[in-house]
Structure 1
Amino acid sequence: MAYLEFRNIQLKYDQRLIFSGFNLEIEQHEKVLFCAPSGRGKTSLVKMLLGFVVPDQGQISVAGVTLTGETVNSIRSQICYVSQDADIPKGIVRDVFAAVFKFQVNRHLNYQEAVLCDWLETMALPQDTLEKNVDALSGGERQRLAVILGILLDRDIWILDEITTGLDLTLKTKMVELLLSYDKTILVVSHDDIYQNRGLREVSW
């Protein structure tokens, strides 16, 4: 049995058929790049894994557990989702990070602000970013913070949804090389050529 499975998925939006009889198996620690054209449901597919989009038909399973209303929170706790919008809580960056690691699901992690400071340097963010309000940061800065948060949460499955927008070539290359070096199951949604020739399995439909 594959680590992640999409079985006989069907999905419609406004009577438009997005998926019909879609099947996909992904092994643990495999790195996959979704290559479908715009409007073909790439983001919808990864959001199905999180339970944010519910297919009209079919089943999704993670590590042998079928995604249902009863299992969705447990499955979400295994996934880090970083999107183009970099949806991180509002507030002062230092306080936001501290609060996230106080959540029950994250309390087992040994969060230290000093480690966050090291990551700010790695991601070419100034140390005074800690004192700034999330709303005052640029899109690229928020994206890098969201990636740092995902790394520190150390979950088994990473979903990277158009995370290189707003970054220059040097930064995006550094970020992609870093993320792909981790021994995680990684699902990438992107139109960026930066992911080409990096050993990802390309899945298209």
Structure 2
Amino acid sequence: MAYLEFRNIQLKFDERMIFSGFNLAIERHEKVLFCAPSGRGKTSLVKMLLGFVAPDRGEILVDGTKLTGITVNQIRSKISYVSQDADIPKGIVRDVFEEVFKFEANRHLSYNVERLQNYWLDAMSLPKDTLEKNVDTLSGGERQRLALILGILLDRDIWVLDEITTGLDLELKTKMVDLVLGYDKTILVVSHDDIYKNQGLREVSW
């Protein structure tokens, strides 16, 4: 059995068919690039995996567990979702990170603010004083990189990366992609960016 499965998915928005009889199986630790044209449901597909969008027909399974209203929180706990909107909590960056790791679901994780300061900020080309800034004062690109750091540190089994290189220069894109794809995780990438080409990802289009 595959690690992630979309079985016979049907989804319509405003009478427009987005998916009809869609099937996809993804193995554990596989890296997949969704490269369908705009408007064909790439983001809808990952939002179905997260339980934010319900298919009209079909089922989604994660590690053998069917996604339902009862299992959705269990399945979300396996997923780090980073989007181009970089939706991270408001407040001082240092406090935001510390608060996230106080959540019951994250208390078992090792969080080291010194490593965040001395390694991760440099790895993502962020200024040393970033931790003392308010999230609202950061640029979109800075928030994207912080959201990605947070997603990595949460150490979930599945990473869903939705247009995370949007608005970044080529050097930063290359740095982020090289870093992310070096991890042995199940990684789903939604992107129009050619930076992911020839990186060993399985390309899925429809």
Smaller-chain TM-score bracket: over 0.9
Q: Cα offset for 1:115? A: 1.6
Distance (Å, rounded) in 1 between the aligned partners of 2:15 and 2:64: 31
**What one-letter code is carried by the residue in structure 1 that aligns with 2:56?**
D
Q: How many residues align?
A: 205
Match of 2:162 in 1: 161
Which structure 2 residues correspond to residues 33-112 of structure 1 after superposition, within 5 A?
33-112=33-112
Mark the runs of 5 or more structure 1 residues left unpaired by the alignment. none
Structure 1 distance, partners of 2:110, 2:205, is: 39
> Structure 1: which amino acid aligns with 2:54?
V
Q: Which runs of 5+ in 2 are unaligned?
A: none
TM-score normalized by structure 1?
0.99
1:22-81 Cα deviation digits (max 9, x unpaired): 000000000000011000000000010100010000000000000000100010000000
- Per-residue CA deviations over 1:155-188 (Å, capped at 9, x if unaligned) read 0000000000121101110100110010000000
The RMSD of aligned alpha carbons is 0.5
Q: Encode CA deviations 1:133-152: one digit per residue, 9 max, x unaligned.
A: 11110000000000100110
| SS, match of residue 69 in structure 1 | coil
C-alpha separation in 2, matches of 1:143 and 1:21:
34
Q: Which runs of 4+ in 1 moved over 3 A?
A: none
User: Whole-Å Cα distance in 1 between the matches of residues 148 and 98 of structure 2?
Assistant: 16
Partner of 2:189: 188
Q: Distance in 2 between matches of 1:43 and 1:79?
A: 15
Match of 1:19 in 2: 19
How far residue 11 of structure 1 moved from its aligned partner, in angstroms, is 0.3
- Secondary structure at the residue paired with 1:46? helix
Amino acid of the structure 2 residue aligned with 1:70: I
The 5 Å alignment of 1:107-122 reads: 107-117=107-117, 118-122=119-123
1:179 aligns with 2:180: yes
SS of residue matched to 2:87: coil
SS of 2:173's partner is helix
Distance 2:110 2:27 in 1: 28
For 1:175 and 1:187, locate their aligned partners in 2 and report how far apart those are by CA, in whole Å: 15
> C-alpha displacement at 1:121, in angstroms?
1.1
How far apart, CA to CA, are the structure 2 residues paired with 1:83 and 1:66?
A: 24
Identity across the alignment (%): 80
Distance 1:25 1:125 in 2: 37
